[in-house]
Structure 1
């Protein structure tokens, strides 16, 4: 599967690189547009010293880890949310008869390597922020774990969103709320949200395990909502459970798919 993914993604990358000036401009544009999120955080801290008890460096750390995971997933797998266009056009049928996974084909359909600019922006923010944090050496290991788990969680969300489109073909806004909405919600300290919402994104849709719960451990900060400390280490478990649910949903959608006949 990995080899197939790389071959298909490389095909689209070569096509995009055929126009180097346009390719470079799109990478830079993605970098700049992602920087607007950082600009919004800086504007907030131009008028206050803390946000829900977190200072600017801590907020940028939470942003950097969440956005690095989100931007990486957006680069690699976000085209899963375009499945509704193939279902309506009848072109999804051809993916089912090819000797490759339909999931891999959808993930690499019109692969956009120019999104690497967003990944670079998030990585730079995280890299610049880390030296300003007093993180004990014994807790640094959690940072790559939380980014990795974040990538898996976002990928599972995109897979769920793709599976949902087998039933809701004309509801792209629902898909965007699940994917891009989740990415936006995880960029800030979850202490800014209401208690009931935080419970929902902890125990139902596990966005809190992308950077909030493990981030509290890294920063050595108590959860203002008083959640048990063992939750700080359950990111891999949450990622695994959501991945299993997404895989089952995708298989269910494939099995119940009905061709347009076109």
Structure 2
């Protein structure tokens, strides 16, 4: 198992580095595109700032607390998008028949799709959330202890795993539903946007759905309730605040099964 994982990581790194080297041939363009990507990524933060210009709190949360949600969610989503965002192109490969050529290469088709057109400019998405967390963490009104300090990187890592699993899971839907691009974006990009805000803003049934069906609440909402020492608006057990690793493993396991099942039942276009 460790050997397979090592080969997979090496293959991913090699293919991604090939695309990076190609982009690096035009360094000025690469830097400008990275900065423009960072600027676009900061628009969500601007929207939050404008909301607080008209209200001191949102759903009972202060500006620093909501910005903390934004930072943790955006960082997790940006890393997952960087690693697996291009898997959404699988439907196009199936329609065009180009997936067939991927299947005969000595590298997993998932790795090939995930590293397709890997561009350094996408690293620009990491700049806003990292900068936000550096600024906001010292300003949170939190009694920091070892558990709360450890929870911050843990929630980011679990968020990366959850979003990565969702990318692969929604990509796997293309094996069955060729034209499912819009629906899959609602889960991935929609999930990234949703987790930037307090879940207490939304209807109770909706929050239950993103807790027990599509576990987006474990990206940062449940862990944040622990960090900020807030009660759960739904009255859910406190133990759920520590369930992010379980949710992440469940999503990744489901994504792996869905991907393998899709590949096993895939039928070539014949082109």
Query: Is residue 196 from structure 1 mapped to residue 236 from structure 2 by the alignment?
Result: no
Contact kept, 8 Å, 2:173 with 2:180, in 1: the verdict is no
1:149 equivalent in structure 2: 158
The partner residue of 2:222 within 201, 213, 218 is 213
How far apart in 1 are the matches of 2:108 and 2:42? Answer: 35
How far apart in 1 are the matches of 2:241 and 2:180? Answer: 35
Structure 1: runs of 5+ lacking an equivalent? none
1:114 equivalent in structure 2: 121
1:93 equivalent in structure 2: 100
Q: 1:137: Cα distance to partner? A: 2.3
Q: How does 1:220-231 map to 2 (within 5 A)?
A: 220-231=229-240
How far apart in 2 are the matches of 1:112 and 1:171? Answer: 25
Structure 2: runs of 5+ lacking an equivalent? 1-7
1:171 equivalent in structure 2: 180
1:50 equivalent in structure 2: 57
The 10-residue stretch of structure 1 (102-111 or 188-197) with the greater mean CA deviation from structure 2: 102-111
Q: 1:134: Cα distance to partner? A: 2.8
Query: Is residue 247 from structure 1 mapped to residue 256 from structure 2 by the alignment?
Result: yes
* Secondary structure, aligned partner of 2:42: helix
2:168 equivalent in structure 1: 159
Q: Deviation string for 1:116-173 (max 9, x for gaps)?
A: 1111211111111101013312211000000000000000000011100011112210
How far apart in 2 are the matches of 1:261 and 1:224? Answer: 53
How far apart in 2 are the matches of 1:202 and 1:178? Answer: 14
The partner residue of 1:235 within 232, 238, 244 is 244
Q: Deviation string for 1:18-53 (max 9, x for gaps)?
A: 111111111000111111111100000001010000
How far apart in 2 are the matches of 1:116 and 1:189? Answer: 26
Query: Is residue 186 from structure 1 mapped to residue 195 from structure 2 by the alignment?
Result: yes
The partner residue of 2:266 within 245, 257, 262 is 257
The number of aligned residues is 262
* Secondary structure, aligned partner of 1:140: helix
CA-atom RMSD, angstroms? 0.8
Structure 1 stretches of at least 4 aligned residues deviating more than 3 Å after TM superposition: none
Q: Deviation string for 1:190-209 (max 9, x for gaps)?
A: 11000000000001110000
How far apart in 1 are the matches of 2:178 and 2:29? Answer: 32
1:137 equivalent in structure 2: 145
How far apart in 2 are the matches of 1:35 and 1:244? Answer: 32
Contact kept, 8 Å, 1:75 with 1:113, in 2: the verdict is no
TM-score calculated relative to the size of structure 1: 0.98
1:123 equivalent in structure 2: 130
